[in-house]
Each structure stands twice: as C-alpha cells, then as structure tokens.
Amino acid sequence: MSALPVVAVFALGGTIASASDSGGGALVRLSGADLVAAIPQAGQVARIEAHSVTMVPSGDLSIGDLIRLRSLIEQALADGAVGVVVSQGTDTLEETSYALDLICGTDAPIVCTGAMRNASLPGADGPANLLAAIRVAASPAARGLGVLVAFGDEIHAARFVRKRHATSPGTFGSPLAGPVGYVIEDRVVILLRPPGRLRVAVPDDAPDAPVAIVLTHLGDDGGLVTAAPSLGYAGMVLAALGAGHVPSRIVPALESAARQIPVVLASRTGAGDVLTGTYGFAGSESDLLRRGLIPAGGLDPAHAAVLLRLLLMAGIDRDRLAYYFDQACRADGPITATATGS
C-alpha cells in the first residue's frame, strides 16, 4: 500500500472555528488541530499537518496576513505536502482566495473553505467542508487549476467565486462560470479547467496600496468619488450601475479622480462584464473609458479591488493596468505581472 500524501491545513479562524458557550455569542475558539480532530475520515485521505495561523473573524484578515501565509504555504509544499487547505471565515473568502490565487506561484492545489453554521449549531457544515477541501487538496486532478474554494461539495475557481447569500450553507457560487467540479462520496470530479492564470509578483515587503470601493446608486451626488483621492487611497473601484454606467452628474468627479489615481469600472450587478463600446450617453461605459477609467472585465468590485491593490503593490505601471484587467478572467496561458512588465 502506498504512503498517504501529506496535506497541510492552515486555520485562520471564522465561523468554521467558532463555537458558543453557555448561550453567549459564538467566538473563534477552535484551533487547526481541533478542526482536523472532528473529521477522523481525513486520516484515510491524507496525513494532515494542522497549523493555527490566526484565530480571527475573516473581516480582520489583511493582505499582509495573506503574504505571510504565502510563505507558510511555500514552506509546507517544499517540505513535501501535495496540497494545502486554508480554513477561514466566509465573509471575505472570495477576496482572500483570489489574493492567494494571484500571489502564489505554485500549481499544487490550494483549497480554501469555511462554514456557515458554527460548531455549536445543529447541521454545522464545517467538518464536511473541511473533509471535502482535504480531498481536493490531495487530488492530482486539482493541480494547475489556480486557488480553489471547496464548499457545499462544489469546487469553485477563486477568480470567479462569490458569497451570494448572508446565511445559506449553499452561499458560494460562480455566477460567471459555474463550479469547476464537485466532490461526491470520496471522489473529486473536475468538470472544467479555467483559462490561463494571471499572477502578480508582489514582494514580501511590498508596502500596502489601499483601494476604495465606491458604489454608485440612484441619486448619487458623487461626494465619495470626489473625496477618495484625497483620503490616501492608491486606487478606486467604482461599483457602477448595470454594464458600467453612472448618473451623468458624477462624471466630472470621476474624470477628476481618474486623473489622480487609477479608477476601475466594475459592475455592481454581481455577474457579467462591463461593456466597452455599446452606449454613448454621458455616464455610459464608453464615456467613462474615454475619460480614463479602466474596465474590470468580468471581475466584480470585490475581486477587482483585490487585483488593483496587488498590481499597485507590485509596482505595475498605470499604463499596464488595463492589460492585466483584460487578462484576469481569460488569459490564454500563464501570465505574471511584474514591475518590469511581462
């Protein structure tokens, strides 16, 4: 019988690691070892090395935490792990998994998961999600797909996945692409392979480049758009109406902001690309792109903010940003954004 593969589990906190005592609100209490101890079946899949990295709600994670996690992941793989699981809160999982997708250079499976029901609740989904994630991380079929999210027995590509519901255990979906696979019984089934992957060469010591997300809406007066560049943001993502439209009254504020910092045009709808040349009215996508905004392609505002932040941290020139946004969802092959270009 061949030896079991090694899978490293990095626990960051979140609902999957939360429990309540004596009627109080649930808090992060469970370590990586505690999480793994709840799924003895994992011992038939892999030899698990459990690590507790942080014990926080996922809103308290930072880009710096993810850059440090990258080093831990690289070390675990260098030490012989075939794949990695990251367990964390679901609230920011679409952003953290996409950041790892962009900054990690490996083809080994990195599989993120979490839970919607904490460990004290009936029907807690953490153990099943963690076991499924371990199966995916141990699967040779999951190599080269980019960072994945295993949740509710579905497998999603980090670049497409979204948290779509505040409480449902089936919250994660990929509206643009659908899941890339699923887990059934003890098998990992990969249905689709995403197109080429964009990576961003962010140095370990890169200074952060905070990005604002501003959501426009009916009756918006543009006050936040006007303020953002002077508040210290290195860039801005505009969550625009529909396919990339804004009320015409905020166009001058956007044009002015785009002269000061990169402004990315994304759709607030939750799925689908922004247009680039269909409408011609003031505040249309064509008008905004002519005034210097950068189209987000098929990235929703949260994903677009992660990509913009990392590109800026990597020192990518402003005139290269649009190219990388264009490639983010549909590169033909692997691309790495480096400060010197690629």
Residues that bind ligand ASP (CB under 6 A): 14-15, 57-58, 89-91, 114, 116
CB of 40 to ligand ASP, least distance (A): 23
Pairing of strands 181-184, 154-157: antiparallel
Query: Are 27 and 14 contacting, i.e. CB atoms less than 8 angstroms apart?
Result: no
We find the least distance from the C-beta atom of residue 116 to ligand ASP, in angstroms, to be 5
Quote the strand ranges of 31-125, DSSP E: 47-56, 83-87, 110-113
Distance, in Å, from the CA atom of 164 to the CA atom of 166, rounded to the nearest integer, reads 7
CA pair distance 110, 93, nearest whole angstrom: 13
> Residue 57 or residue 146: which is nearer to ligand ASP going by CB?
57
Single out the catalytic residue among 15, 54, 96, 216: 15
- For ligand ASP, give the closer residue by CB, 55 or 240: 55
CB closer to ligand ASP, 89 vs 179 = 89
Sign of CA dihedral 116, 120, 121, 123: positive
Query: Cβ closer to ligand ASP: 56 or 215?
Result: 56
- Here the contacts of 284-291 (C-beta below 8 Å, separation 24 or greater) are 284/244, 284/245, 285/240, 285/243, 285/244, 285/245, 287/251, 288/240, 288/244, 288/246, 288/251, 288/254, 289/265, 291/251, 291/254, 291/255, 291/258
Task: Give the nearest distance from C-beta 194 to ligand ASP in angstroms.
Answer: 25
Work out how close the CB of 98 gets to ligand ASP at its nearest, in angstroms, rounded to a whole number: 15
CB nearest ligand ASP: which residue?
Answer: 89
- As measured in angstroms, the least distance from the Cβ of 88 to ligand ASP is 7
- Residue 269 carries which DSSP code? T
CB nearer to ligand ASP: pick between 171 and 336: 171
Identify the CA nearest to 162 among candidates 304, 9, 333: 304
Which residues share a beta bridge with 238? 214, 265
Q: Which is nearer to ligand ASP, 57 or 298 (CB)?
A: 57
In this structure, how many other beta carbons lie within 10 angstroms of the beta carbon of residue 22?
4
Least Å distance between CB 130 and ligand ASP? 13
> How many residues appear in the chain?
342
Task: Tell me the closest approach of the beta carbon of residue 90 to ligand ASP, in angstroms.
Answer: 3
CA 313 to CA 59: how far, in whole Å? 20
Question: Which is closer to ligand ASP, CB of 11 or CB of 134?
Answer: 11
54 as an active site residue: the answer is no
Angle between helices 301-313 and 93-103 (to 10 degrees): 40
Task: Cite the active site residues.
Answer: 15
